[in-house]
Homo-oligomer: A and B are copies of this chain.
Amino acid sequence: MTEVESTYRIGEVAERFGVSTRTLRYYEEVGLIVPSGKSPGGSRRYSDADITRIERVLELRNVMGFELDRIADIVGAENRFEDLRDEYHRSDSLERHVEIVVELMSINDDLRAHVAEKLAVLEAFAHDLDARAERLRAVQAELTSTPAT
């Protein structure tokens, strides 16, 4: 049995990820990320596993712009998978394993499709901006080359 080390204070974690302590407390409030430890005085202690989850949650929030409910669904499924892996050898049901793997594959594929879509839109937007830049340069050249009317 290895001890679960809960070493990080909320302030450190917040600064590390560029969020407010309020955000982390809110995520606990809605049950999204509950720190695995507390100091005797009652302040939150985040473990390395907590950090990993926070990273994932913020990735889904920042990159995909998902609502917290949706993020909870995704990381919830991922956590069930991790839990099963941890108790791999005393697993009571192989079918349950397969079930969860299939569910994760589905979630993963959905996400992947969503990302591909976003990538396409972003690339189109980038080309738009490049075209705009080109036009602006043309206008600027015209303005600065023409003497005052």
Contact = CB atoms under 8 A, between A and B. Distances in A.
A133 interface: yes
Q: Is the interface of A mostly helix, strand, loop or mixed?
A: helix
Given A63-B121, A65-B65, A97-B143, A112 B126 contact: yes
A6 B65 CA distance: 34
Given A101-B139, A108-B132, 7 more contacts: A63-B118, A105-B137, A108-B136, A112-B129, A112-B130, A112-B133, A115-B129
25 contacts: A59-B125, A62-B121, A63-B121, A63-B122, A94-B143, A94-B149, A98-B140, A98-B143, A102-B140, A104-B136, A105-B136, A105-B137, A105-B140, A108-B129, A108-B136, A109-B133, A111-B129, A112-B126, A112-B129, A112-B133, A115-B126, A119-B119, A119-B122, A119-B123, A119-B126
